[in-house]
Amino acid sequence: MTEDPEERQNLALLCFYPARAMEARLYAALAAAGFDDMTPAQGRIAARIGPHGTRLTDLAEQALVTKQTAGHLVDQLERAGYVRRVPDPTDGRARLVQMAERGREVVALARKIEHEVEAEWTAHLGDKTAAQLRAALERLREVTDPYR
């Protein structure tokens, strides 16, 4: 019996379910480790901070939020000690948002949780299927992620 194309879920939604599950696991682990003051909205901004820092306007563009919203979220992250603002060495008028020590601790824990979840998913799917899924999603990213 074939599936009715009108009833099957689109690919974006099928990608969303595991992304949402990963996010829920991640924030539960962060809260358990004492980082219970970071929200998903703040995390989406923080996740876009490059290793040497990123300008606020770039964070806003990449997170698909206004500059004002990004600024508000960065203010919250800064007050909580996750990020700091520093002068941009390439433009004395601009500032970069960089991860502070507390932010780097969160990133390290997040990477650990991400690896654990991916290992669980790989065990569920099998090595070959997980590798095929990764390859397909990496190819799809080529046409869906302008910030790759």
CATH of the domain at 75: 1.10.10.10
Q: Is residue 4 part of a domain?
A: no
Number of domains in the chain: 1
Bridge partners (DSSP) listed for residue 64: none
81: left (phi over 0), alpha (psi -120 to 50) or beta: left
Asked if residues 35 and 109 have their Cβ atoms less than 8 Å apart, the reply is yes
Residues of the domain holding 116? 11-144
Instruction: Specify the length of the chain in residues.
Output: 148
Between CA 131 and CA 25 the distance in angstroms is 22
pLDDT tier at 127 (50, 70, 90 boundaries)? very high
Q: Is residue 58 part of a domain?
A: yes
> Beta-carbon neighbour count of residue 115 at 10 Å?
10
Asked if residues 97 and 56 have their Cβ atoms less than 8 Å apart, the reply is yes
At 3 the pLDDT is: 67
Q: pLDDT digit string (tens) for 36-91?
A: 999 999 999 999 999 999 999 999 999 999 999 999 999 999 999 999 999 999 98
| Helices H / strands E in the chain, number of each | 6, 3
Q: Is residue 6 part of a domain?
A: no
pLDDT tier at 13 (50, 70, 90 boundaries)? very high
